[in-house]
Structure 1
Amino acid sequence: MTSRIDAALSRLFEKHRIVFWYDEKKELRSEFEELDITGVEKLEILNNEFSVKYRVLRELPKQQFLIYKEGQQPEPLQNWLLDVELSFTTFRTDQVAIWLSELELPSEFSEVVEKHSAFFDSGRSPAQAVKRKETLKKLLTSEDSQSLVRMKMLSVCAGANKKGEDRIDNVLELLLAELHKAKTPLYSLIERCGLDEFLWQQVERHYCYSSDRPSIKDFSIELFKSCYSMGLNTPLNNTPTNLSNDALVFFKRWKDSRTHEVSFESLSEECSKLLNIENDLSHRDLKELIELDYFELIDRRVIHELVMAVEQRTIPQGEIALFCRQRRQGHWYNKYKHLYSAVDVAAQFFALLDTVQLSMANSTEAVQGYTSHWYKLDQLYRQYVYALKVSSQNTLLNSLTAKVENQYTNRYLLPLNNSWQQHVDQMSNWQVPDVIPQSQFYKQWVKPYADKEQKICVIVSDALRFEAGHELLSRIRQEDRFQASLESVLSSLPSYTQLGMASLLPHEKNALNIADNKTGTVRIVSQSTQGTDNRDKILKGVFGERGSALQAKQVLDNTFTENRKLFTKGCVSYVYHNRIDHTGDKMQSEGEAFEAVEKTFEELVKLLKRLASADVYNVLITSDHGFIYQNKALEESDFLANDVKGDVLYNDRRFVLGKNLNCSSALKVFSAEQLNLSGDVGAAIPKGVQRLRLSGSGSRFVHGGATLQETIIPVISINKKRESDIAAVEVDVLRGGTNVITSGQLSITLYQTEAVTDKVQPRNLRVGLYTSSGKLISDSHEVLLDLTSENPREREMKMRFVLTQDADGANNQEVLLKLEEPVVGTNHYKAYKQLSYTIRRSFTSDFDF
């Protein structure tokens, strides 16, 4: 006890020269006599008031005094030292007084401390009580009112222990967070401390929640119910909304909090069942739900409706894209993003298929048509199948998938290649006028660098077909300082790995030949081109030590120093990457071919960055061949009988190699000379997209044939610049003809000034309404501006802000609409733009009629 009294008195002497001590119960004399506070003289009142006053005011006017009286404090009219006492302070030794002293609170807070004594009482858990007091003391300021002190006590009980967290919204978030757990110690502590009544008073004042038996559980149900109703044309069960706009603002903040994500989702699921949300959603229109994300069931309902709309073509593709984009801001978007992607690309696929014309007067027009726009259907089909597989929602998408498969095969893949086959049938040699053949790749793209002894790296990604190359081009250009362009070449035929890889290497005209054996190996004159080692020999034979052939894995695994040693000045390096073909060529994994394409994009961009770090700034990406992939199981009519006669050396699903071949009209035979090869080994190619049966091989992923998908391959030329060449898109605010806010809501339109491209990148913004002092007085929206439309009207994004009660304090004052963007790699934001508004709300705007 003495140590606590000593500490309490020491604190008082830090602020006061004279301290009075009335020992009302006459039980602390020994403590008074034992006290020895440096610089403090002790005096006792024993009918000597005049001499005490004279000593403390006249004799030693700067000395500190502790004036002790055993007994009660005299009545004011009987207290001869009252003037001195009022000028300084009094030390009380009851428990409440000690607590006030420890907190450095004046006596007017006695009622607060006494009413909530359990907050300070160390009876149950001394360590926790001490910790609560220490935390509370750090939060207190000299300007705190009794209500603010209670609010801070409430915050400490709830675990909001930092300055600025002592607000009712933070307290409620913490109490809601423990609601989905088996025990609720925070709320139990609030009740034990007698702060529950204050809690519910604050909740009613801020959010208009009122109940005869208030509880966190009941509040959570009312919160979900009211906020859901506020976002609908008609409220849930046609019952009135009880909570205020501030409750909606609180709800949105809680929903979007990463800290409380788990508790929100748990309570959302529970409340959806209690409120029978599933039944209510079944009666709602899609457009009514598109901006709501309070229950996971909303996403499921929206996706179900979108799937049906795309399949039945009841909503235009533009609206589907808009709906999917709006859902990006939703709480559960990441969980369902692949389903939204599947819906979006399926709608694009059907819309494009409706407009495409597969007419081709000659083979040159066919290649031009494919590389300018037809390839997009292959791309959308791949993107749809990829989204289908990673979403694992085959049942939901079953009917839509069947339609996509049917349309892709019967309206695009078959008609396209049947028309193309007519031109192939007329070819006397495998070539297309005005289209560079793969065998000239080295001469066209690599030799200009080699002749100048400039460092050049060729990345050969096995089975990277043209449509995938087009998407890769976009991804590369999105990287800062990387410039890239795309061209196409006609692959060698048959379009298989050995011949494609050989065609890309430096060689003289007619030097390529297929070995006269059963391996399918391709040689340059007599040198085998199979494998990295043989290709390395060929390159070193041309360039000496400047030439090299490497595997991509080696470059990716190397350190920066090791790669700099590999890629020396004037080097000509071929780097081989194989994921798509490695995956698709196996029966067990061919169904993962499109996932392999996605992985290839990631690996090639990473490889580019590794090369750039080794000072390789000029890079070419190409492929040995393309491929056909059909996700559904093939029918019997998709296969041909292998009736090829002659000296057959090698069989594959899309070609046969041999000498003196002949067959039915279902296949086309090319001699070695017609294939621009030397030697005697030619090939028989199935017409269209049909396959030959091959034991132990898959049939959905194939290559080797003459279709456009197999033989039109990309050549991407990449150069890394020294200066940054990307920028975020600019955004303006369209606010109509006024800057005055006259109601409890504000509607604006964000306008993206140009379309997002590879180099003009999306901009993330956080938007909210603030007072001049920086206080948020509305809900806050986080938006991604990534619109790609060239139509300005389609680059507008409408937003609505709900004002809180705090906005009332800014009536007739200027407020700011702030647009802020995130600081990359942090949780902070920086200013982007702001606009001024004036709030001018009449008292009548508070009424609902």
Structure 2
Amino acid sequence: MTDRINAGLMRLYEDQGHRIVFWYDAARDLRTAFDAVDLPDVIKVEIANNEFGLKYRMLRQEAKARFLLYKDGPEPPMSENWLLDVQLASAVFRADQAAIWVADLGIPAKYEAAVRNHAEFYRSGKRLEALRVMEHERPSQSANDVRRKMLAVCAGADGDLDTVIEALLAELSEDREDALRLINRVGLGKFFWKEVSARYGYTVPEPDFQDFAITLFSSAWTCAVGEVGKLNADATLMFRRWSASRRWGEAFEKLSGDYQAVLKITEDLASRDFRNLIPYDHFEEVDRRIIVAMVDGLAQQSLAATDVLKWVRDRRQSHWYSRYADVYQAIGYATEFQQVLAAADLIMTSVSDGVRRYSASWFRLDQLYRKFIYHMQKSGQSGLLSALYEAVENRYTTNFVLKLNDAWQDQVSRLTDWTVPGFPRQMDFYREQVAAFRRKHQKVVVIISDALRYEVAEETLREIRKLNRFDAELQPMIGVLPSYTQLGMAALLPHEQLAIRDDSDLVLLDGESTAGAAAREKALAAGRSGDRVKTLAAKDFMSLGTIEGKDLFRDHDVLYLYHNQIDAIGDKLATEENVPSATEATIEDLVKLVRKLTSANFSNILITADHGFLWQHKALEESGFALSELEGDIISRNRRFVIGRGLSNNGGMKKFTAAQLGLNGDQDILIPNSINRLRVKGSGSRFVHGGASLQEVVLPILRVGKQRKEDVGQVSVQIIPPARAQITTGQIQITFYQAEPVTDKQQPRQVHAGIFADDGTLISDEAELEFDFTSENPRERELSRGFLLSKAADVYNNQTVFLKLLTRIGKTSHFEDHASQPLLLKRGISTDFDF
């Protein structure tokens, strides 16, 4: 007790600046405590019929000394207190338990009732210390101020009533009410509900926190859809901030799920146009309603693609987006697929024209289909997306792949030799691509990714170009026929002659076997006399340390890395449905490989493939198989080619001789027309290669280099000023503009937006906005967002406030200004219904 008395007294002297302190021992039981007081530079004196002498001593003789005046007994009436004038200019120390707490906390004595009436609160040292910290940071201006801090301590909150409510909502979501019970136990229950009523407009005869929570959800929802809620604007603002907070995400989701049924939200949504629901995320059912409507509309082609893409972008602001991210992305890719397909004119005038047009734009349809299937599979919501899947699958297989390759087959059927004028051949890859570096005495590394078809390489190109100081370019190359691994891999090595062995589909390179790493390395060494060469599995290179990687560069002139992810998954019946995820992994692997290669000093990097592939998610129907009977001596038979001698068929297949394909030997090769497959027992039919479809034979040459200068930035965001730069109600709608489209080198920007007073006080809700628009059309790079003003805004009426965009500094918790727009806050009398 002595320590608390000493501490309380010192606060009066040091913190509050008093020189003279009076101590009345009304119960006459604190003399021992007074005697024990020992404060530096404080003179202890007892008041005992010596008032005039004391006054003279304190005011004249020792006018700068500190005095502690103790009286054994109660404070005298004012008319009998001869030291009243001194006392009124000084401080009185209250030494009962409540007074000690007041002094200990540094709370002004006039607010003592807030302590005395809630003694139970102060019996906990932990609560006392928490309140002391709050009081130190922001001294109370009233007894109710003290009580509000006590509420915050009880709830474990760190601010005003909003944060108390947030903490109590979290407990409610866990079926607990510890804080609420404590609030009642310390006598703050009535005060709490009075505060809730005044702040949020919740007024009921018998207040209950769960009832308040349900009312909060109900009111926020009805206000959002344009109806009158039971609570006021501050409640709506608090709900918006709480529901958007990452800290309280789990609590929001739990209560939202609980009250979704209570408030009959599913039935409510059934009668609403889903377009009007796009801005809202109060309940998970809102997302499901929007998704179902978009899926049905796309499947029936009754929604404009531009609208759907905008809705998908807007829903990224939804609290539930992470739960449905893959669903929304699947919808987005399906929409783009339909958009691109509608604009595609799948005709060609020659094989060269077909390759040119496929590598310029048609490949995008394969890419969009693959991305759609990937996100559909990843979402685990194939049932929700089933109508859209059926529509996309049918249009992809029938309206694109089949139609495209039927037109392509018309051109291929006219060929006598397998050649496409104007495009490099896979057979010439080493001489035209690799050796070109060696002729300039430059080192080069080649990454051969099995089944890296052109559209996958194009996505890889974009991912590499996103890297700072990296650049890349892509061109198409014509693969060998048949388009299978052994032949494609051999064609990429230096050689004079290629041949398929007489008794199998194994390949000979200048008469030598190409099977295995040793054979490939031997063939690579023959490319240029004196070259130091190495072949290595990509995964083995990735396991090298930094020094080992640099040693590899130092000791070799040509490095071939072999990567196998897509073919390893697709070429197995049990796993061929996982081709989309294998493709995503491949792109990630290749980007990592490029980064590691450049860190090991490799600066000339080529990425290519042995062959492409045909793939569809749905199992083939009977019409997808070639029906012709084969005649002749069959050496090897695959889904997409047959090797033999004296081969013939009754139609449905294109016949080449080995010589017509640029191969040595006397074999015949049959290729099924268009995208048809041959029946092969035990083999998968959804992922195939070996044939002459554009998807199988248009291969990538992806050149990667590294620049010296920084070349990656972020798009800039501007605030479009409203016609009248004023806020006249409780909310304002603001439009933002992304100044340039996102490209490989101009990356998206995330900003925090809010309205701030001139002194930095936040007076609205905050929003986290993502600007990643890729459109060249400026109007399609605009984003609108509404902001609700808080109660704190009332203080700044008729003042200039600022809508600010803030960007995070690196990965820190600090932000810097990106853009600012002054607005005149000029509201009339604030009401609960002024928005």
TM-score normalised per structure 2: 0.95
Corresponding residue for residue 276 of structure 1: 264
| Alpha-carbon distance in structure 1 between the residues aligned to 2:790 and 2:10 | 46
Contact 2:721/2:821 (CA < 8 Å) preserved in 1? no
Decide which moves more: 634-643 or 471-480: 634-643
Corresponding residue for residue 368 of structure 1: 356
Corresponding residue for residue 521 of structure 1: 506
Contact 1:450/1:570 (CA < 8 Å) preserved in 2? no
- Deviation digits for residues 307-339 of structure 1, max 9, x if unmatched? 000011111111111111111111111111111
- Counterpart residue type for residue 586 of structure 1: K
| Alpha-carbon distance in structure 2 between the residues aligned to 1:74 and 1:565 | 94
| Alpha-carbon distance in structure 2 between the residues aligned to 1:183 and 1:246 | 25
Contact 2:731/2:788 (CA < 8 Å) preserved in 1? yes
Asked if residue 150 in structure 1 is aligned to residue 144 in structure 2, the reply is no
- Deviation digits for residues 690-748 of structure 1, max 9, x if unmatched? 22222222111000011111111111111111111122222222234322333333222
Given candidates 261, 268, 284, the residue that maps to 2:249 is 261
Corresponding residue for residue 427 of structure 2: 439
Corresponding residue for residue 219 of structure 1: 212
Corresponding residue for residue 818 of structure 2: 832
- Deviation digits for residues 596-635 of structure 1, max 9, x if unmatched? 1111111111111111111222211111100011211112
How far off its partner does 1:487 sit?
0.5
How far off its partner does 1:304 sit?
0.3
How far off its partner does 1:343 sit?
1.7
**Structure 1 residues 25-424: aligned runs within 5 Å:** 25-120=27-122, 122=123, 126-141=124-139, 144-160=141-157, 165-233=158-226, 235=227, 240-424=228-412
Contact 1:739/1:837 (CA < 8 Å) preserved in 2? yes
Contact 2:754/2:767 (CA < 8 Å) preserved in 1? yes
Corresponding residue for residue 634 of structure 2: 648
Cα distance change of structure 1 residues 58 and 792 upon mapping to structure 2, 3 Å threshold: closer
- Counterpart residue type for residue 728 of structure 1: Q
| Alpha-carbon distance in structure 1 between the residues aligned to 2:511 and 2:255 | 72
Cα distance change of structure 1 residues 694 and 281 upon mapping to structure 2, 3 Å threshold: same
Cα distance change of structure 1 residues 488 and 72 upon mapping to structure 2, 3 Å threshold: same
Question: Which runs of 5 or more residues in structure 2 are unaligned?
Answer: none
Asked if residue 755 in structure 1 is aligned to residue 741 in structure 2, the reply is yes
What is the DSSP-based 3-state SS (H/G/I as helix, E as strand, rest coil) of the residue aligned with 2:180? helix
What is the DSSP-based 3-state SS (H/G/I as helix, E as strand, rest coil) of the residue aligned with 2:340? helix
Corresponding residue for residue 445 of structure 2: 457
- Counterpart residue type for residue 764 of structure 1: Q
Corresponding residue for residue 573 of structure 2: 587
Decide which moves more: 583-592 or 739-748: 739-748
Given candidates 494, 515, 539, the residue that maps to 2:524 is 539
How far off its partner does 1:636 sit?
2.5
- Counterpart residue type for residue 450 of structure 1: R
| Alpha-carbon distance in structure 2 between the residues aligned to 1:13 and 1:408 | 84
| Alpha-carbon distance in structure 2 between the residues aligned to 1:466 and 1:33 | 93
What is the DSSP-based 3-state SS (H/G/I as helix, E as strand, rest coil) of the residue aligned with 1:5? helix
| Alpha-carbon distance in structure 1 between the residues aligned to 2:33 and 2:389 | 87
Identity %: 43
- Counterpart residue type for residue 68 of structure 1: Y
How far off its partner does 1:227 sit?
1.5
- Counterpart residue type for residue 31 of structure 1: A
Contact 1:453/1:570 (CA < 8 Å) preserved in 2? no
- Counterpart residue type for residue 148 of structure 2: M
What is the DSSP-based 3-state SS (H/G/I as helix, E as strand, rest coil) of the residue aligned with 2:202? coil
Given candidates 663, 679, 695, the residue that maps to 1:709 is 695
Corresponding residue for residue 755 of structure 2: 769
- Deviation digits for residues 137-170 of structure 1, max 9, x if unmatched? 44443x633332222222111112xxxx322221
| Alpha-carbon distance in structure 2 between the residues aligned to 1:200 and 1:90 | 34
- Deviation digits for residues 282-303 of structure 1, max 9, x if unmatched? 0000111011111100000000
Decide which moves more: 449-458 or 6-15: 6-15
Cα distance change of structure 1 residues 130 and 843 upon mapping to structure 2, 3 Å threshold: closer
| Alpha-carbon distance in structure 2 between the residues aligned to 1:761 and 1:622 | 26
- Counterpart residue type for residue 455 of structure 2: E
Cα distance change of structure 1 residues 37 and 376 upon mapping to structure 2, 3 Å threshold: closer
Contact 2:494/2:524 (CA < 8 Å) preserved in 1? yes
Corresponding residue for residue 18 of structure 1: 20
Corresponding residue for residue 486 of structure 1: 474
Asked if residue 571 in structure 1 is aligned to residue 568 in structure 2, the reply is no
**Structure 1 residues 707-746: aligned runs within 5 Å:** 707-746=693-732
Question: Which runs of 5 or more residues in structure 1 are unaligned?
Answer: none
Cα distance change of structure 1 residues 545 and 127 upon mapping to structure 2, 3 Å threshold: farther
Decide which moves more: 211-220 or 670-679: 211-220
Cα distance change of structure 1 residues 40 and 751 upon mapping to structure 2, 3 Å threshold: closer
- Counterpart residue type for residue 199 of structure 2: H
Contact 1:767/1:818 (CA < 8 Å) preserved in 2? yes
Cα distance change of structure 1 residues 618 and 25 upon mapping to structure 2, 3 Å threshold: same
Contact 1:742/1:842 (CA < 8 Å) preserved in 2? yes
How far off its partner does 1:34 sit?
4.1
Contact 1:157/1:186 (CA < 8 Å) preserved in 2? yes
Contact 1:743/1:845 (CA < 8 Å) preserved in 2? no
Given candidates 395, 404, 415, the residue that maps to 1:427 is 415
Given candidates 675, 693, 698, the residue that maps to 2:679 is 693
| Alpha-carbon distance in structure 1 between the residues aligned to 2:318 and 2:832 | 30
How far off its partner does 1:105 sit?
2.2
- Deviation digits for residues 255-298 of structure 1, max 9, x if unmatched? 11111000011111111111100000000001110111111000
Asked if residue 512 in structure 1 is aligned to residue 513 in structure 2, the reply is no
Contact 2:269/2:286 (CA < 8 Å) preserved in 1? yes
What is the DSSP-based 3-state SS (H/G/I as helix, E as strand, rest coil) of the residue aligned with 1:394? coil
- Deviation digits for residues 333-367 of structure 1, max 9, x if unmatched? 11111111222222222233233222122211111
- Counterpart residue type for residue 431 of structure 1: T
Cα distance change of structure 1 residues 371 and 271 upon mapping to structure 2, 3 Å threshold: same
How far off its partner does 1:64 sit?
3.6
Contact 2:24/2:75 (CA < 8 Å) preserved in 1? yes
Contact 1:320/1:347 (CA < 8 Å) preserved in 2? yes
How far off its partner does 1:36 sit?
4.0
Cα distance change of structure 1 residues 438 and 287 upon mapping to structure 2, 3 Å threshold: same
What is the DSSP-based 3-state SS (H/G/I as helix, E as strand, rest coil) of the residue aligned with 2:527? helix
Contact 2:21/2:93 (CA < 8 Å) preserved in 1? yes
Contact 1:17/1:63 (CA < 8 Å) preserved in 2? yes
TM-score normalised per structure 1: 0.94
| Alpha-carbon distance in structure 1 between the residues aligned to 2:440 and 2:409 | 41
| Alpha-carbon distance in structure 2 between the residues aligned to 1:91 and 1:797 | 61
Contact 1:209/1:243 (CA < 8 Å) preserved in 2? yes
Cα distance change of structure 1 residues 837 and 39 upon mapping to structure 2, 3 Å threshold: closer
- Counterpart residue type for residue 428 of structure 1: T
The alignment's C-alpha RMSD in Å is 2.2
